[in-house]
Amino acid sequence: MSEEAKLTIGDNSWSFPIIEGTEGEKAIDTRRLRNETGYITYDDGYGNTGSCQSSISFIDGEKGILRHRGYGIEDLAANARFLETAYLIIYGELPSQDEYAAFRGLVHDNTQIHVGMENHFDGFPLDSHPMAILAALLNSLGCYYPDLATNDRDQDLENFDTAAPLAISKVRTLAAMTYRMKMGMPFIYPDPKLLYSQNFLHMMFSTPYEKFEASDTVAHALDLFLLLHADHEQNCSTSTVRMVASGGANLFASVSAGVSALWGPLHGGANMAVIRMLESIHKDGDDGSRFIEAAKRKEARLMGFGHRVYKNFDPRAKILGEACTRVLDELGMNDPLLDIAHRLEQAALEDRYFIERRLYPNVDFYSGILLKAIGIPVEMYTVLFAIGRLPGWLANWREVASVGDGRIHRPRQIYTGSTKRDYVALEER
Ligand code: ACO
């Protein structure tokens, strides 16, 4: 007999089926709840709500497990590259050699953007935030490919295999152009011969007279950073992408919304916030202990610490923390911010406040230091996160469009405002 959950309210009882995922996670299927009982569930922040069934990524936050399509993040980080992982996340299987060559070919063929798009940069003030520019330009990208962005679900799905590598390639070009525009530097055209992360660094840092050639250490570190961010279950930005996709919006519009959601400091913007926090601690001559005490008094927040899902450790933070130390060693750099970060990590892990609340370093804690070491300006950190997360957003867009039940996502609410009132004429108020 299959399991059921019983709900009793007063004299009435109802049964609801239990559904179970492939990793044993169980949920009470409440889809009939309101129709049958007149009640809805209330779950502010969605901490107990499964918004979908998905076969892309699995997280066990208690055990610090993250797997994409069944492959452990440690395994992928040690053996795969970003584009291979992107393919896996999007299509569900590791690519064969031919499939990988074809996918990389499409990414390489799409490095350039339409020259008309260069004009968009003239419309942004120089102090615009790169995330605002990226969100706008990713949506605009769809205008240059109307056949790929029709908002006709069947047609958009039919063209997905063209649109996905195109977006993965062009997001990187647009990001590098944003940095150049803000610096008042001429755009550098992509070099299709270069690997994905090398090409990005070339477009960021080459000059018309001298080509920037990233060392293998730096190119690998950036590739690893992107790979570690490639997908992460139903986080704020991915849920946003799915929400927008559920209304039938095309892939470019949906991922552009994902960029906006990612921007906030409690989500992807935390990688910038971590560096700013470490810099201010350094500037104040604090070794981190004063800041920790302020965080415990709720006067400050220890950025890069805590996670809604991971309650023991964030496996991505572990890998990135190790990579960070390795890269700084290989580059012969000695960053005082890393020392402060280590001290904060140690102190917080031994402090009752953090232990009781199960607050551990998350991926953003070390990613800022790594990006700083490889020369990425702070304002671009969250943009780099967005480039890394794009495969996950694309895979989730595709899942909603192709295997969802086709219903628009539309939560309910508990209304707490005024009850019915009658209009009072202006002259009588
Ligand atoms: N520093 C100090 N205290 C914290 C922190 C922190 N970073 N995070 C949570 N707490 C405390 C809260 O004040 C709360 O304490 P209380 O029980 O005394 O009221 C308790 O821990 C629970 O915190 P919540 O805010 O309920 O946790 P939630 O799951 O809602 O938030 C979040 C998770 C947003 C990640 C939070 O830990 C945070 O703000 N961290 C800093 C920002 C950050 O690093 N974000 C990146 C997340 S990872 C990512 O998006 C890639």
Cα angle 6, 8, 11 (rounded to 5 degrees) comes to: 140
Give yes or no for residue 1 having a pLDDT over 60: no
For residue 364, what pLDDT band results from cuts at 50, 70 and 90?
confident
Ligand 1, atom 35: nearest CA belongs to which residue?
307
Which residues, judged by CB distance below 6 Å to any ligand atom, belong to the binding site of ligand 1? 266-268, 270, 295, 301-308, 357, 359, 362-364
Rounded CA gap, 361 and 305, in Å? 4
Residues of 106-130 as b/e, b for ≥16 C-beta within 10 angstroms? bbbebbebeeebeebbeebeeebbb
Ligand 1 probe mutation, 355, 362, 389, most atoms within 8 A of CB:
362
Give yes or no for residue 87 having a pLDDT over 80: yes
- DSSP type of residue 374: T
**Closest ligand 1 atom to 362 CA:** 48
Choose from 75-79, 322-326, 339-343, 365-369 the range with maximum mean pLDDT. Answer: 75-79
Give yes or no for residue 236 having a pLDDT over 90: yes
Ligand 1, atom 39: nearest CA belongs to which residue?
266
Query: What tens digit of pLDDT does each residue of 96-108 get?
Result: 999 999 999 999 9
Give yes or no for residue 2 having a pLDDT over 80: no
Residues involved in catalysis: 307, 364
Would you kindly state where each structural domain of the chain is located, as residue ranges? 4-50, 73-266+380-401, 270-374
Average pLDDT over residues 136-149: 97
The Å distance, Cα 318 to ligand 1 centre, comes to 19
pLDDT for res 404: 73
For residue 245, what pLDDT band results from cuts at 50, 70 and 90?
very high
Average pLDDT over residues 44-65: 95
C-alpha distances (whole Å) from 387 to each of 51, 75, 201, 384, 390 are 24, 21, 13, 5, 5
4-50 and 270-374, same CATH topology: no
Ligand 1, atom 9: nearest CA belongs to which residue?
306
Q: Does domain 270-374 have CATH number 3.40.50.720?
A: no
For residue 241, what pLDDT band results from cuts at 50, 70 and 90?
very high
Contact yes or no for 241/398 (Cβ under 8 A): no
Choose from 190-199, 239-248, 293-302 the range with maximum mean pLDDT. Answer: 239-248
Average pLDDT over residues 382-388: 97
Average pLDDT over residues 256-276: 93
Sequence-ordered list of residues with C-beta below 8 angstroms from that of 78, at least 6 positions apart, any chain: none
- DSSP type of residue 120: G
For residue 24, what pLDDT band results from cuts at 50, 70 and 90?
very high
Coil vs helix vs strand at 8: strand
Q: Which fold, 4-50?
A: Rubrerythrin, domain 2 (2.20.28)
Ligand 1 probe mutation, 233, 296, 302, 318, most atoms within 8 A of CB:
302
Ligand 1 probe mutation, 237, 308, 309, most atoms within 8 A of CB:
308
The Å distance, Cα 217 to ligand 1 centre, comes to 33
More confident residue, 3 or 128: 128
For residue 326, what pLDDT band results from cuts at 50, 70 and 90?
confident
The Å distance, Cα 270 to ligand 1 centre, comes to 11
Specify the amino acid at residue 346.
Q
Ligand 1, atom 20: nearest CA belongs to which residue?
357
Sequence-ordered list of residues with C-beta below 8 angstroms from that of 35, at least 6 positions apart, any chain: none
Average pLDDT over residues 274-282: 92
pLDDT for res 406: 82
Pick among 1.10.1520.10, 3.30.870.10, 1.10.580.10, 1.50.10.10: CATH of 73-266+380-401: 1.10.580.10
Average pLDDT over residues 272-298: 91
Rounded CA gap, 382 and 294, in Å? 26
pLDDT for res 33: 97
The Å distance, Cα 224 to ligand 1 centre, comes to 25
**Closest ligand 1 atom to 267 CA:** 50
Contact yes or no for 3/18 (Cβ under 8 A): yes
The rounded Cα 177 to chain-centroid distance in angstroms is 21
More confident residue, 346 or 38: 38
Give yes or no for residue 336 having a pLDDT over 90: no
Q: Which residues make beta-bridge pairs with 361?
A: 305
Phi, psi of 154 (to 5 degrees): -65, -45
The Å distance, Cα 304 to ligand 1 centre, comes to 9
Ligand 1, atom 24: nearest CA belongs to which residue?
308
The Å distance, Cα 307 to ligand 1 centre, comes to 6
Residues of 390-408 as b/e, b for ≥16 C-beta within 10 angstroms? bbbbbbbbbbbbeebeeee
Query: What tens digit of pLDDT does each residue of 398-422 get?
Result: 999 998 778 999 999 999 999 999 9
